[in-house]
Amino acid sequence: MQNIHSPLQAQLVQWLVAPGATVAAGDVLVILEAMKMEHEIRAQQAGCVGELFFQAGEAVAEGELLGVLMPVTDAAAQPKASAPTSKTPPPLDKRSDLQKLQTRLAFTHDAARPEAVAKRHAQGLRTARESIAALCDPDSFVEYGALAVAAQSRRRSADDLMRNTPADGMVTGIGCVNGQRVVVMAYDFTVLAGTQGMRNHQKTDRMLGVALHNKLPVVLFAEGGGGRPGDVDVAIVAGLNLATFASFARLNGRVPVLGVVAGRCFAGNAALLGCCDVIIATKGCNIGMGGPAMVEGGGLGAFKPAQIGPSEVQHGNGVIDVLVDDEVQAVWAARHYLSFFQGTPAQWQAPPAEALRHVVPENRLRVYDTRSAMQGIADEGSLLHLRTGFGVGIHTALARIAGRPVGLMANNPLHLGGAIDADAADKAARFMQLCNAHGLPIVSLVDTPGFMVGPDTEAAAQVRHVSRMFVAAAHLRVPLLSVVLRKGYGLGAMAMTGGGFHETLATVAWPTGEFGGMGLEGAVRLGYRKELEALPEGPEREALFEQLLAQQYDNGSAINMATTLEIDAVIDPAETRNWLVAGLASGQTRPFDGTLAIDTW
């Protein structure tokens, strides 16, 4: 026999069985109510309902006996009764609350707006959800804030908002990229032109907090038109007290932040994009701090969107780091970029080591492409060049060496003979900051006659720009390894090696290396001016010049530099990767101290 006791102080709401009824184990016998919540008491075994001691509406104390349930074997003496009135719960897919949710969620999917999707596809572009699906590993994306709609209920019906402003124009959530969690936020241009509504600001702030607290990388698909004036549900005047921009900027140096753009990105959307560590953009995009309406409203003339910040302009001036043909390539580049902050893969392929022996021509006056050296040092398929349209005097790229993520930078002898101008210095300094903030060791390939000089150069604030390289290097917490490929002259070579040849973890040179406090031709003309001017112009003076120059080259050879311990070694170019692998294994990255930052420029 089972005694039916009350598990808590409550009011008896309803008996679902009557005396004499037979019940199965698990059937609900009685419902109690306490603190506005209903509690079910179920049969612990099959049996026949005996005497019941309380009626509906009566109060019962905790532990009080409510009734008895006799075993089925004793039930023959009991009067027969109808089956219990308890009902089997309906299947979950038939529940009204679940059906209501599923109906509501259906309006957030692209399939609910075929006309908008068709228009988007006609422009050769993906929807926000398609971009996220392409970026994230299959079935890994978990959406936050899907049920939001635009804050415009005072001017539009609930049905209109549900159908036409899904997610308030921004899809946010967490997904996996290459198997690791990433916060993803995508403005939806098919919803109110991807503008920044009040609720999608709230969603953004929520996701930025999650990213910062959990140290998750952030990917922002930034296409859109900036602030939205039509949200009338919130009592605001200018809306300049938003936290979004400060919250986004607060991620700087703490987690990788990547911006991706296809189409038009103006105003507030562009401001967030500009805070990103790296910007990947398609050739058909436009990026500007003001769209056509804002430009015209400022009395600056009437322009079409395509005239404002086209990709060729923004790539050439350094805004765009990686320029690609389309969104397919953009997402591939995004996955590639994020991989450098996701550890070391188990497998990698080294390029042919001997090819490095042929990178630098035997003729010391012949130019060459240092990107071939970068290619020969990096694991095959790992190079990702950054900011290729800007500061072309220095190449910068992320890569892997024996699987380990690193930053690579190299002087470019094809531009100004490798001399470092203001743009190249800015590019290199910011690249060092990027690697430093996210713990990537830096490999510097040196071939420079020094900093660029001359009246025109100084008019471009050269003194301040090039000195950024020294300051950035002085704050490195990651190992820096340098390889001098050919010219290592003056302050420019020192800037490429962290401020001096002994500021690195290792500074080595190829046999083609040549060194001096300044360009050797200039050093001879300055240092031996009296001797040269003592001879008449012509073959005799020229012969003396060549003799003195040859002495300088011999004195400044890589072997002599290693002999005097000004560099650590001269190596066979084919051994470069082995040197770097050993160095990377030896170097230590100091802990993050909370003060690191990456310039937006």
Of 65-69, 71-75, 475-479, minimum mean pLDDT range? 71-75
Question: Does the pLDDT value for residue 133 go beyond 90?
Answer: yes
Percent of the chain with pLDDT over 70: 96
Residue 452 is classified by DSSP as -
Beta bridge partners of 397: 385, 408
Question: Does the pLDDT value for residue 78 go beyond 50?
Answer: no
Beta bridge partners of 481: 443, 506
For residues 251 and 231, give the distance between their C-alpha atoms in angstroms, rounded to a whole number: 28
Q: Is 512:360 a contact under the CB 8 Å cutoff? A: yes
Tens digits of per-residue pLDDT, 440-489? 999 999 999 999 999 999 999 999 999 999 999 999 999 999 999 999 99
Question: Does the pLDDT value for residue 80 go beyond 60?
Answer: no
CB neighbour list of residue 13: distance below 8 Å, 6 or more residues apart: 30, 31, 32, 33, 38, 56
Burial annotation 72-110 (CB, 10 A radius, 16+ → b, else e): eeebeebeeeeebebeeeeeeeeeeeeeeeeeeeebbeb
Specify the amino acid at residue 218.
V
Instruction: Show the DSSP H helices in 556-575 as ranges.
Output: 558-563
Q: What is the pLDDT of residue 194?
A: 93
Question: Does the pLDDT value for residue 527 go beyond 90?
Answer: no
The widest CA-to-CA distance across the chain, in whole angstroms, is: 139
Ranked by mean pLDDT, the top range of 135-144, 295-304, 517-526 is 135-144
Helix then strand then coil, in percent of the chain rounded to 5, is 35, 20, 40
Q: Is 472:422 a contact under the CB 8 Å cutoff? A: no
Residue 171: name the closest of 196, 152, 145, 150 by CA: 145
Strands 442-448 and 480-489: parallel
Superfamily of chain region 353-513+557-586: 2-enoyl-CoA Hydratase; Chain A, domain 1 (3.90.226.10)
For 141-195, strand residue ranges (E) read: 142-144, 170-177, 180-187
Q: What is the pLDDT of residue 83?
A: 46
Residue 489: name the closest of 463, 462, 522, 511 by CA: 522
Percent of the chain with pLDDT over 90: 81
Structure tokens at 154: 């005072």
Tracing tokens 């969690």 back to the chain, one arrives at: 181
Tens digits of per-residue pLDDT, 531-556? 888 888 888 888 888 888 888 888 88
Neighbouring C-beta atoms of residue 305, cutoff 10 Å: 16
Instruction: Provide CATH code, domain 2-77.
Output: 2.40.50.100
**Domain covering 100-339: architecture:** Alpha-Beta Complex (3.90)
Of 212-216, 231-235, 260-264, 375-379, minimum mean pLDDT range? 231-235
As a whole number, mean pLDDT of residues 418-436 equals 97
Beta bridge partners of 39: 32
Q: Is 406:518 a contact under the CB 8 Å cutoff? A: no
As a whole number, mean pLDDT of residues 410-439 equals 97
Q: What is the pLDDT of residue 321?
A: 98
Q: Is 145:165 a contact under the CB 8 Å cutoff? A: no
For residues 577 and 557, give the distance between their C-alpha atoms in angstroms, rounded to a whole number: 22
Strands 218-221 and 257-261: parallel
Q: What is the pLDDT of residue 88?
A: 54
For residues 545 and 309, give the distance between their C-alpha atoms in angstroms, rounded to a whole number: 51
Tens digits of per-residue pLDDT, 88-115? 555 656 788 899 999 999 999 999 999 9
For residues 511 and 492, give the distance between their C-alpha atoms in angstroms, rounded to a whole number: 20
CB neighbour list of residue 335: distance below 8 Å, 6 or more residues apart: 135, 177, 178
Structure tokens at 587: 């170097």
Question: 0.85 exceeded by the pTM?
Answer: yes
Residue 463: name the closest of 399, 420, 512 by CA: 420
CB neighbour list of residue 595: distance below 8 Å, 6 or more residues apart: none
Residue 248: name the closest of 209, 283, 285, 197 by CA: 209
Ramachandran region, residue 239 (left: φ > 0; alpha: ψ -120 to 50; beta: rest): left
As a whole number, mean pLDDT of residues 125-135 equals 97
Domain-wise residue ranges, the chain: 2-77, 100-339, 353-513+557-586, 518-556
Q: Do domains 100-339 and 353-513+557-586 have the same CATH topology?
A: yes
Q: What is the pLDDT of residue 63?
A: 95
As a whole number, mean pLDDT of residues 292-312 equals 91
The mean pLDDT value of the chain amounts to 92
Of 85-94, 121-130, 291-300, minimum mean pLDDT range? 85-94
CB neighbour list of residue 2: distance below 8 Å, 6 or more residues apart: 43, 44, 45, 47, 68, 69
For residues 322 and 398, give the distance between their C-alpha atoms in angstroms, rounded to a whole number: 12
Strands 10-15 and 59-60: antiparallel
**What's the chain's length in residues?**
601
Residue 30 host element (H or E): strand 28-34
Q: What is the pLDDT of residue 530?
A: 87
Beta bridge partners of 60: 10
Question: Does the pLDDT value for residue 87 go beyond 70?
Answer: no
Tens digits of per-residue pLDDT, 221-256? 999 998 888 888 877 777 788 899 999 999 999 999
Tens digits of per-residue pLDDT, 178-202? 999 999 999 999 999 999 999 999 9
Q: Is 223:187 a contact under the CB 8 Å cutoff? A: yes
Q: What is the pLDDT of residue 240?
A: 83
